[in-house]
Amino acid sequence: MKPKFLYDDLRSWIDQARKLDEVRDVEGATWQEEIGMATELLHHSDPAPAALFDKIPGYPKGYRVLTNFFGGKRMNMTFGFPQDLSRVELSNEFNKAFDEAKPIPYEFVEAGPILENVKMGDEVDVLSFPAPLWHERDGGRYIGTGSFNITQDPDEGWVNLGTYRVMVHDEKTVGFYISPGKHGRIHRDKYMARSQPMPAAVSLGGDPFLYLMACNEVPYGISEYEFVGGLRGKPYPVIRGEVTGLPIPANAEIVFEGFVDPKKRRPEGPFGEWTGYYASDVRDEPILDIKAIYYRNNPTILGCPPNRTPDELARYRAVIRSGLLKQELEKAGLQGIKAVWAHEVGSSRMLLNISIEQKYAGHAAQVGHVASQCHVGAYAGKYVIVVDEDIDVSNLEEVLWAMVTRSDPATSIDIIHNAWSTALDPRIHPDDKAKGKLTNSRAIIDATRPYEWRDRFPPVNMPSPEVARKAREKFSYLLKGFTKKI
């Protein structure tokens, strides 16, 4: 099925989410503490609405912050799919649509809502927007959490959209951290090697689907604009940045534009990250000298700060990354892949669950090793668990049950050393981080019935699908009024 998007930008997305009764308006919350507090609470409550913060003390009415956008019924709406799809079904349908979509080049347009206000030079003031302090131990205000950076490869010319945290330094300067190996970092390193300033722009709110695609592993050399255009069925509209010439979303809420000088660095961090820790501490990082700010009337910042998993960031990455990982496994020629889930508890990176229909001896090990080292699965992974097709890979209890009953610790676990990781990994020794040694190990756990004697493995003590259906039909009334709290 093809996705059907009912929105084009953040404002029309909010309208659709209101129709689902999944937006709550909050007035008077402070940027210093209360927006971050409320967001953390929403992230760890399921289901929970999106929150739209307005009348933030010290800022004009209409300068808003939207948080917890991904969850509930609005999750499927954001991807353009029907409400009755489960998380795994949503991921599978997205995967099919992504695989079938043909990238469409973005299109420059002369005008767009982002041009309603343009501030250049001395008029640039980052502090005019209500960037929150998201966590109490953060080293500063992070205006960029639901944001993406726009850069262009100086050799190959392709444009990348990447999500990297953006810290406020002062009225005209922000800093950002990019892990080694990320596409935006590759672009920046090329400019650094030439001692040339890198043109860059940061979009701080806009089309949620464009943001989601910027969060994930789109293949090298192809712009996220092009994939979103292909999925939406039309070229993505962009305006040409007046300072850098970079393509800027015409429907964005706020965009910073400027240059990253290879000689300029300032302390960045600490920041509570997606691993649930302050793992990257404080270090000197490159800064963006902002030469222009574009913003809509009454602009809205999209806030997606990481919290201890499972959180909002883990939820939306799990849907996309699971589909992309399944696609990469199948393109590698692997057979029998039934389902994939990059589990939220590992922030969709550190715990990958894959169910297979075993075809031959060694099949499970092959799948696990490929998953751990292909592009989608390689960065900052930890554990890959391969299970049989009777296990729901999105259900952590089922996966762990399979692991403790079908695997043997001495013979079912393979270890990979010196794999690609990040300074955000709390398990890497501080001395190794200081030396730039950002690698970790991986565990590949074969939690399938041993192939050689799988037919003699004890049968499962569970009702058949038919008996389970009858139980639900006859006795589901017993559960009325009881809900599972997460």
For residue range 249-276, what is the model confidence (pLDDT) as tens digits? 999 999 999 999 988 999 999 998 888 8
> Which one has a higher pLDDT value, 52 or 88?
52
What is the rounded average pLDDT of the residues 61-88?
A: 94
How far apart, in Å, do the first and last CA atoms of the chain sit? Answer: 31
pLDDT higher than 70, residue 484:
no
Whether the per-residue pLDDT at 437 is higher than 70: the answer is yes
Least confident of 80-84, 377-381, 476-480: 476-480
Is the sign of the CA dihedral 402, 408, 409, 414 positive or negative? Answer: negative
Q: Are 149 and 179 in contact (CB under 8 A)?
A: no
Q: How far apart are CA 119 and CA 295, in angstroms?
A: 9
**67 within 8 A of 39, measured Cβ to Cβ:** yes
The predicted-structure confidence for 373-424, as pLDDT tens digits, reads as follows: 999 999 999 999 999 999 999 999 999 999 999 999 999 999 999 999 998 8
Amino acid at 102: K
CA distance linking residue 462 with residue 226, whole number of Å: 47
CA distance 188 to 190: 5
* Confidence bin at 483 (pLDDT 50/70/90): low
Nearest to 181 by CA among 405, 392, 375, 449: 375
Query: 3-state class of 115 per DSSP?
Result: helix
Domains and CATH numbers, the chain: 10-303 (2.30.110.10), 332-452 (3.40.1670.10)
Instruction: Name the band, by pLDDT with cuts 50, 70 and 90, for residue 78.
Output: very high
Tokens of 27: 């007035």
Question: Does the pLDDT at position 486 exceed 50?
Answer: no
- Give the angle 113-118-122 at the CA atoms, nearest 5°: 165
**196-249 confidence digits (pLDDT tens):** 999 999 999 999 999 999 987 777 888 999 999 999 999 999 999 999 999 999
Say yes or no to pLDDT of 194 above 70.
Answer: yes
Do the beta carbons of residue 280 and residue 271 sit within 8 Å? yes
Contacts of 322 (CB under 8 A, 6+ apart): 88, 91, 95, 340, 341, 342, 348
- Among residues 92, 72, 60, the alpha carbon closest in space to that of 17 is found at 72
Q: Which two tokens stand for residue 160?
A: 């990348």
- Residue range 11-38: mean pLDDT, rounded: 97
Long-range contacts of 390-395 (CB under 8 A, 24+ apart): 390/355, 390/460, 391/355, 391/447, 392/88, 392/339, 393/88, 393/339, 393/340, 393/341, 393/343, 393/353, 393/354, 393/355, 394/86, 394/87, 394/88, 394/339, 394/341, 394/343, 394/353
Residue 49: what residue type? Answer: P
Q: Which residues, 6+ apart, have CB-to-CB distance to 97 below 8 Å?
A: 1, 2, 3, 231
Residue 32 — φ and ψ, nearest 5°? -65, -30
Q: Virtual CA dihedral for 215, 218, 220, 223, nearest 10 degrees?
A: -80
157-164 average pLDDT score = 94
Which of 175 and 309 is assigned the larger pLDDT? 175
pLDDT for the residue numbered 485: 47
The pair of three-digit structure tokens given for residue 13, joined into one six-digit string: 């997305």
Question: Residue type at 71?
Answer: G
